[in-house]
């Protein structure tokens, strides 16, 4: 179990709220061919198969605000085309792991590696929470362009994992095809996939309505009454901590490793082999002040808070492990699992989170989309509205927000290169 400081990220008084066999595969371009002619001209060639840096802050050219928005894609298919095509231009080695071509056609986790092994490694992951992949993919795309323009990056190794949850990215969901929150799905033991916070069962009817939405949703009055009854700490824990007892509920961690989790668990060792130190930044959106970036450190990593503050700025760092009304516990975190497995590589891990809307609005959007997914359907007005609201909450349409996220993301990653190249990791 791990904890994180929500209140440090939110200045308001609101509370925070089966595809088959897995194997490396040749990239399918069926979905990509459905895109426009403009995008179609960029369609990657077939043949991406499994193979059996010293970038300083000064040498990183941060995209100008007036063109940074161009790194955002309209959908998963476009994002994947651009990621793979740009990675190939950058000279990256590429791997593609299909989720399942029969039941999830065209959906893959793609890995691009630039630089040799036995080097300090910067690992950047996106789309663990599918719909958050819009911003994560944009930052990865911008980073690839930066790496193409910089001759020094090969002194380090860069590993980019694109769209860890491609299903959620495609379908405008935070979770995968089994309603599993992948950032609550990484456990060392099957026994950990059980139970729920004590308060969650009491809040189930509020969090997870079992009917279609009504014309007038009473979410906000109900939320305020629930806060008054249970208090913010209990609500944060119930909403965000992860649960394994309500398969259709929010923050469901699954009954076992998901397909993306199995892909990573089975193959990550080959992606990081021989690393001389690893800095893993997992890109997320939806928590914190508008456009602001925070690096969230889990309790086990907080002992290195001084290193992060020195290299990324103290104002950017939020350390875990605090107690009291601002803390919550979460289980099954992706990055923490990676850190524990690859600790021999001096593995550093932080969640790089970009804020969007107030927490109650984000929770309302999560609740509405989950409700529509299970009890409405495509073609229904509430279904389309809930998808649009969720995407807006995790990837605002605001050009200013998008530009700020790309600029800040590239700036902080550039600092990561500088920190890793110094050898003081």
Give the burial class of 154: count Cβ atoms within 10 A of its Cβ; 0-12 exposed, 13-18 middle, 19 or more buried.
middle
Q: Are 126 and 283 in contact (CB under 8 A)?
A: yes
Please tell me the number of Cα atoms within 13 Å of 100 on its side-chain side: 14
Cα atoms in the 13 Å half-sphere on the side-chain side of 38: 3
Work out the angle at residue 373's Cα, subtended by the Cα atoms of residues 103 and 75, and round it to the nearest 5 degrees: 65
> In tens digits, what is the pLDDT along the chain, a chain of 425 residues?
344 433 343 433 332 223 433 333 333 333 333 333 322 333 333 333 322 233 344 445 667 766 888 999 999 999 999 999 999 999 999 999 999 777 778 899 999 999 988 899 999 999 999 999 999 999 999 999 999 988 766 789 999 999 999 999 999 999 999 999 999 999 999 999 999 988 899 999 999 999 998 877 889 999 999 989 988 777 777 788 899 999 999 999 999 999 999 999 999 999 999 999 999 999 999 999 999 999 999 888 999 999 999 999 999 999 875 433 344 668 899 999 999 999 888 999 999 999 999 989 999 999 999 999 999 999 999 999 999 999 999 999 999 999 999 999 999 999 999 999 987 66
Check residue 232 and give its pLDDT: 78
For residue 328, what pLDDT is reported? 60
Looking at residue 213, its pLDDT comes to 86
Give whole-number Cα distances, 311 to 159, 296, 376, in Å: 20, 14, 48
How many CA atoms lie within 13 Å of 418's alpha carbon, on the beta-carbon side?
16
DSSP sequence for 146-171 = HHHT-TTGGGSEEEEEE-SSHHHHHH
* Cβ proximity of 383 and 377 under 8 Å: yes
**Angle of the 305-312 helix axis to the 399-421 helix axis, nearest 10:** 120
pLDDT of res. 149 = 86
Give me the pLDDT at residue 234, please.
Answer: 72
pLDDT of residue 205: 93
What's the CA gap between 387 and 341, in Å, rounded?
Answer: 36
The per-residue pLDDT for 58 is 43
- DSSP collapsed to 3 states, 279-318: EEEEEEECCCCCCCEEEEECCCCHHHHHHHHHHHCHHHEE
DSSP state of 25: -
Residue numbers of the domain that contains 248: 2-421
Q: What is the largest CA-CA distance in the chain?
A: 59
Which residues, 6 or more positions from 331, have their beta carbon under 8 angstroms from its beta carbon? 1, 2, 184, 187, 192, 241, 242, 253
Q: What is the pLDDT of residue 396?
A: 98
- The DSSP 8-state label assigned to residue 386 in this structure reads H
* Ramachandran class of 415: left when φ > 0, alpha when ψ lies in -120 to 50, beta otherwise: alpha
How many domains is the chain partitioned into structurally?
A: 1
The position carrying tokens 């969230």 is 296
The DSSP letter of residue 182 is G
């Amino acid at each position: 179990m791990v904890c994180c400081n929500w209140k440090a990220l939110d200045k308001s008084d609101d509370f925070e709220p089966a595809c088959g066999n897995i194997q490396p595969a040749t990239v399918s371009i069926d979905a990509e061919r459905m895109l426009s002619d403009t995008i179609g001209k960029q369609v990657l060639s077939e043949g991406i198969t499994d193979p059996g840096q010293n970038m300083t802050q000064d040498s990183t050219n941060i995209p100008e605000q007036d063109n940074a928005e161009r790194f955002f894609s309209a959908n998963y298919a476009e994002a994947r085309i651009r990621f793979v095509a740009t990675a190939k231009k950058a000279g990256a080695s590429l791997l593609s792991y299909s989720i399942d071509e029969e039941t999830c056609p065209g959906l893959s986790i793609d890995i691009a590696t630039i630089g040799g092994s036995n080097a300090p490694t910067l690992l950047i992951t996106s789309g663990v929470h599918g719909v958050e992949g819009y911003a994560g993919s944009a930052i990865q795309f911008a980073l690839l362009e930066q790496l193409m323009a910089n001759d020094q990056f090969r002194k380090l190794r860069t590993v980019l994992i694109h769209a860890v949850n491609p299903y959620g990215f495609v379908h405008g969901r935070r979770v995968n095809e089994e309603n599993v929150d992948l950032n609550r799905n990484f456990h060392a033991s099957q026994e950990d996939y059980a139970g729920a916070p004590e308060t969650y069962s009491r809040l189930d009817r509020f969090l997870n309505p079992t009917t279609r939405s009504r014309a007038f949703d009473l979410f906000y009055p109900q939320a305020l009454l629930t806060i008054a009854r249970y208090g913010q700490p209990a609500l944060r824990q119930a909403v965000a901590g992860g649960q394994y007892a309500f398969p259709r509920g929010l923050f469901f961690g699954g009954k076992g490793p998901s397909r993306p989790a199995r892909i990573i668990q089975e193959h990550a060792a080959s992606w990081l082999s021989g690393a001389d130190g690893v800095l893993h930044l997992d890109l997320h959106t939806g928590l914190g002040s508008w456009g602001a970036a925070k690096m969230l450190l889990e309790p086990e990593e907080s002992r290195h808070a001084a290193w992060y503050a020195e290299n990324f700025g103290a104002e950017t760092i939020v350390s875990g492990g605090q107690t009291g009304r601002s803390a919550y516990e979460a289980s099954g975190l992706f990055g923490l699992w990676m850190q524990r497995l690859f600790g021999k590589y001096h593995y550093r891990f932080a969640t790089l989170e970009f804020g969007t809307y107030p927490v109650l609005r984000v929770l309302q959007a999560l609740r509405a989309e989950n409700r529509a997914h299970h009890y409405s359907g495509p073609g229904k007005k509430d279904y389309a509205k809930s998808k649009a609201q969720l995407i807006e909450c995790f990837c605002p349409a605001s050009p200013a927000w998008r530009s700020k996220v790309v600029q800040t993301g590239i700036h902080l990653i550039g600092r990561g290169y500088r920190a890793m190249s110094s050898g003081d990791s």
